[in-house]
Amino acid sequence: MNALDRLPMRARSPLPPYVRGWFCVADSDEVKQGEMKAVSFFGDQFVVYRTPDGVARVANAFCPHLGAHVASHDGKIEEGDIVCPFHKWRFAGDTGLCKSVPYSDAPAGKVGLKVYPTKELLGLILMYFDPSDRPADELPTYDTDEFVMSEWTKSADKSWVIYAHAQEFVENIFDPAHLTQLHPTTIMPVYEKLEERDYGYYIRLGFSEGEQFPVESVEFNFAGLSYSYQITKGTGFQVVTIGTFTAIDEERTLQRVRLYVKKSAHEAFDEIVGQQFSERFIFEVEQDLNVLNYKKHLPAPKLCVGDGPIYQYRRYAQKFYPLAV
């Protein structure tokens, strides 16, 4: 690959840097009871922790008193409360409201840390974030019906810091021409179903014979622009890929992919499927990134016959933009 300079995002893209949706901020096993994990997303900082009932929560990291980061110095979770390191104000873990101040009664119950709607799904901790502060959409639970974690083996877990907006990456699903031109796919898939739903999009791609992998269908279910659940069905195997996109700041997005293979009677076969599928998937993501990390978002691209439903997807994407100010 050529060594390229990268233009700053504002020169490459008019898209709003932050959109609303359910965003992965940590994996479930990264946040133990009584611990607080500091994370940086959306050009801001947050803490992820669990209250004593085991529920994962996400709060803004900056204390409303004088702005200390609650996980700095010896900031901690104590009996489910967040205790700020600077003047030891104590905040309830579930509501974020101030419970006590060691040297005064005045602010208790009146000020607090902002606590965000949070859900745990398939080993991920997701927070609802909206730059315009609208109430949370329901996160679809469609995937849990067919996905019982104990029946699947995790065969890859990989993350990338990408220099692209999540909308750009998801747009690839609507761009079948790049599959045969950028990637090593030999057969152009057919859109058997393309359905906009309340929470997002459902897409079913069909493949005829001739692929390197004996893939029969690929179904995508994605919510907003931040969470995608993909199930690939082939001869004798099924693979689920969970992709998440969380903006770090105006330039960068954290993209993470976890890949699971449905357990069959033959562990060695599952391992081979997992390994081959992961290698190819990761290879293709990196091919995409070689382009996406540098590309511009053209609001009026010059499409031709044979291109996918890119405008249809872009209209959908606008539902997640912040309100105009």
- Site residues (vs Fe ion, CB under 5 A): 172, 288
- Contact by Cβ (8 Å): 152, 41: no
297 vs 292: CA distance, rounded Å: 9
Positions 6 through 25 that interact with ligand FES (CB under 6 A): none
The region of 58-66, 124-132, 162-170, 299-307 touching ligand FES under the rule CB under 6 A is 58-66
| 89 contacts: CB under 8 Å, gap ≥ 6 | 63, 65, 83, 98, 100, 101, 102, 107
Q: Which is nearer to ligand FES, 45 or 217 (CB)?
A: 45
Tell me which of Fe ion, ligand FES, none is bound by residue 187, counting a contact when its beta carbon lies within the kind-specific cut-off of 5 to 8 angstroms: none
Classify 271 as helix, strand or coil: helix
Q: Which is nearer to ligand FES, 62 or 313 (CB)?
A: 62
| 195 contacts: CB under 8 Å, gap ≥ 6 | 201, 202, 203
Q: Which is nearer to ligand FES, 86 or 202 (CB)?
A: 86
Q: Considering the complex, what minimum distance in angstroms separates the CB of residue 317 from Fe ion?
A: 17
Q: Considering the complex, what minimum distance in angstroms separates the CB of residue 85 from ligand FES?
A: 7
Q: Considering the complex, what minimum distance in angstroms separates the CB of residue 301 from Fe ion?
A: 16
- Contact by Cβ (8 Å): 193, 316: no
Tell me which of Fe ion, ligand FES, none is bound by residue 169, counting a contact when its beta carbon lies within the kind-specific cut-off of 5 to 8 angstroms: none
Q: Which is nearer to ligand FES, 81 or 171 (CB)?
A: 81
Q: Which is nearer to Fe ion, 223 or 285 (CB)?
A: 285
- Contact by Cβ (8 Å): 116, 12: no
Tell me which of ligand FES, Fe ion, none is bound by residue 288, counting a contact when its beta carbon lies within the kind-specific cut-off of 5 to 8 angstroms: Fe ion
Q: Which is nearer to ligand FES, 89 or 222 (CB)?
A: 89
Could you give the string, one character per residue 63-102, with x where binding to ligand FES holds by CB under 6 A and - elsewhere? x-xxxx---------------x-xx-x-------------
- Contact by Cβ (8 Å): 129, 60: no
Q: Which residues pair with 129 in a beta bridge?
A: 21
161 vs 293: CA distance, rounded Å: 10
Q: Considering the complex, what minimum distance in angstroms separates the CB of residue 189 from Fe ion?
A: 12
The CA-atom distances, in angstroms, between 171 and each of 98, 155, 168, 178, 209 are 43, 26, 5, 11, 25
Chain residues in the site for ligand FES (CB under 6 A): 63, 65-68, 84, 86-87, 89
